[in-house]
Amino acid sequence: MLLATWNVNSLNARLSRVERWLANFHPDVLCLQETKLADDAFPALTFEALGYETFHHGEGRWNGVAILSRVGLEDPQAGFAAGDEPDPDARVAWATCGGVRMATCYVPNGRSLDHDHYHYKLSWLDRLRSTLDRTCEASDDIVVCGDFNVAPADIDVHDPTRFEGSTHVSAAERDRLAALVDWGLVDVFREHHPEDGLFSWWDYRGGAFHKREGMRIDLMMVSRSMADATSAVLIDRNERKGPKNDPPSDHAPVFMIVER
């Protein structure tokens, strides 16, 4: 199986690229974030024509997440489990695809350490963990992927000294990722690639991509059974390139190949 995640920064602006990526890579499952669409504007028929069932959870102008699957799509769920404080934003969706419980996540940015949005971010990650407690077992086949807006370690940032005092690298955010690891999930990309300089997001500004100044914030957090069956994990950084008339997202797709 090929399982992928991609923050597209508006599906309207990126639809031709997503269609091309599906044709090139034939993923079994593609998780999208930041579709920025309402559910009734999601191009389900376009993806159906390419062989994909879809589940979209959106609100319109901001956020929006989707799961595309050509190996079945069962038990779709939007948001957090009953019992957790509901999310006012459309930031997470779940579905079982080919026997794997998938989650597509767009974790809040946080804005700054003294902003209310930062506390929302921490609470959001707490509720993600709580929903796992309520709905999954660590022994299941699970892939919780998406834009986490957290760099798990300093190696995931091009210049950690530039990010001191910023979001994405704070101890509290990294503690929330560690809580997912404690629960039983593995950062499967890092398990396959110990080296530095590997990123999934580059700021549009200042030629960051060409200066190799990025962060690795798009993660595939997978259960042990999935990690053990994974033969490769890659970032398609070529997808961050492109001309003004077909501009890239500021995030590149991340995908894993599972031998099953």
Partner DNA sequence: ATGGTCGTTTGACGA
DSSP 85: P
Q: Is the backbone of residue 224 left (phi > 0), alpha (psi -120 to 50) or beta?
A: alpha
Place of tokens 């376009």: 46
Rule CB under 7 A: is residue 240 a binding residue for DNA? Answer: no
The radius of gyration of the chain from alpha carbons, rounded to an integer in Å, stands at: 17
Q: Which stretch binds DNA (CB under 7 A): 60-68, 125-133, 152-160, 220-228?
A: 60-68
Residue with smaller CB distance to DNA, 72 or 247: 247
Rule CB under 7 A: is residue 10 a binding residue for DNA? Answer: yes
- Which of 159, 161, 210, 244 binds DNA (CB under 7 A)? It is 244
Q: 209-244 in b/e burial notation, b at 16+ Cβ within 10 A?
A: beeebbbbbbbbbbbebbbeebeebbbbbebbeeee
Rule CB under 7 A: is residue 46 a binding residue for DNA? Answer: no
Rule CB under 7 A: is residue 122 a binding residue for DNA? Answer: no
Residue type, 157: V
Cβ 249 to DNA, closest distance in Å? 8
Q: Which stretch binds DNA (CB under 7 A): 11-19, 73-81, 181-189, 233-241?
A: 11-19
Site for DNA, rule CB under 7 A: 9-10, 12-14, 36, 60-62, 108-109, 111, 117, 204-206, 244, 247
